[in-house]
Chain A
Amino acid sequence: MTDDAAAAWPPLALERLSAAVTVLAERAETQEARAQLHGLAGILRNLGGEHAGAHERETLHAELASALAAEDEARAVTAMRMLARLDRAVVRPVDWTAASGG
């Protein structure tokens, strides 16, 4: 049995939903509505993605906390850099030009 078969209704891909909201944004009449819908599209595209890489993140959190406690700057900067890279890597792009300008 697949995950889909166990679902109460057919699952919806967030990427697909996000693309549809982007299309809707382009049809919105006001600049404000277009900007809001582009923002929503970005949120939908990333929904639930914040836990990606959780295990590696926990390890890096611990390493960073340890380095800060020891005031070991070189270790802290290395851990901070790796953690920041990991957190950024899981973000799917948001069209901020459209979201900020409509």
Chain B
Amino acid sequence: MADPRPEVAAKLSDWLRARGEEVPVEVLERTTVGLSQETWLVRVGTADAVLRLPTPSSGARAILSQRQALDAVAGHPVCAPKLLWSDDTAENPFERPFIVMERIHGDVPVGWHHLAEAERLAVARESMDVLAALHEIDVEATPLAGSDPSPLMTLQGLIRLFERVAPLPPVLEAGLWWLVRHEPPAPQRRTIVHGDFRMGNMIVADGHLVGVLDWEMAAPGDPLVDVCWNFIPLWTLAEVDEPPLLDLYASRAGIEIDPEHVRWHRALGYARLSYYMMSGLRAFDRERSDDLRLAAFRLQLPVLLDRLAATIAGEPVT
């Protein structure tokens, strides 16, 4: 297969030239081969940058919402990459919307447990500072004000998604039943919610949180979604002491957090992760993907449902 990088570089270069910017563009590599978005590491002039394009499965909205989010949080201390260029239309050499943002150098650990204990604690505390700063932004004054939260972030949305992958395991059915019975009232604070704020979307360098990625799910919503999702383990436990971190967030945000609301949001988080597993294994079973890891998701489902049940029962999660 021909190396696609020169063509990608030529398209970005053409687009910049049409805007009067004559700068050399070099495409270094493609960082992900996934369903969500195309991500290319590029060099524009002397600047390291990241080019993101939608895929058929992500749809153009993933790029548009990300552009809106990066605009909304620009200038705030939330470790978001700076947006350099963007095109919301398909009237460009890529024939689809795209964004180019600054490249933040560092590591992207896939889980909290990948960090050494001292570093984990420091980054966890910084992540709570970032969340407090993010949730302080006046969402009504940003381009996100009219956005709807992803269905993954609300119980009603998740229930609709689960209808697509029914029948559900009995533990999950019971978990959703409990979530409906205990759903907290609408939050008093409506803030920008990142929507996928977790290790795996964070860049760590020299023991510090230096970047937060993947803003495409950002929308107005309940800040506890982010706070509780931050440490929910998809695979291995985060191994952080959460109560002091919640206290830190509450102190920074100047609010009180109801422990029962935290429990509910954690249970919602495990339900959301269970949906990821069920939709993934369904994609394999229905021959939409030959990724063997999706087939293996059925083996993580009982682990996540056990954590869901433990959370609901008020037991420690293992």
Chain A positions within 8 Å of B, measured between CB atoms, are 32, 35-37, 39-40, 42-43, 46, 61, 64-65, 68, 73, 76-81, 83-85, 87-88, 90-91, 94, 96-97, 99-101
Contacts and interface: CB of A to CB of B under 8 A. Distances in A.
A94 B171 contact: no
A42 B296 contact: yes
B306 interface: yes
A73 B300 contact: no
A46 B197 CA distance: 32
Contacts of A68: 173-174, 177
A76 B309 CA distance: 11
Given A88-B306, A96-B235, A83 B170 contact: yes
B236 A84 contact: no
For the complex of A and B, list the 8 residue pairs with the smallest distance between their C-beta atoms, beginning with the closest: A84-B309, A39-B293, A88-B306, A96-B235, A87-B302, A39-B292, A80-B174, A84-B306
Interface residues on B, range: 20 to 34
Contacts of A88: 302-303, 305-306
Contacts of A39: 291-293, 295-296
B171 A99 contact: no
Contacts of A36: 291-293
The CB with the most chain B CB atoms within 10 A, among A42, A88, A97, A100, is that of A88
A35 B296 CA distance: 11
Nearest to B312: A77
B313 interface: yes
B171 A84 contact: yes
14 contacts: A36-B291, A39-B295, A40-B292, A76-B177, A80-B170, A83-B171, A85-B306, A87-B302, A88-B302, A88-B306, A91-B299, A91-B302, A97-B111, A97-B235
Contacts, number: 94
A87 B174 contact: no
A46 B299 contact: yes
B175 A80 contact: yes
A87 B299 CA distance: 10
A45 to B, nearest CB: 9
B200 to A, nearest CB: 9
B21 interface: no
Given A83-B171, A84-B171, A87-B171, A94 B296 contact: yes
Contacts of B3: none
A71 B310 CA distance: 19
B131 interface: no
Given A42-B299, A46-B299, A76 B174 contact: yes
A101 B171 contact: no
The CB with the most chain A CB atoms within 10 A, among B169, B296, B305, is that of B296
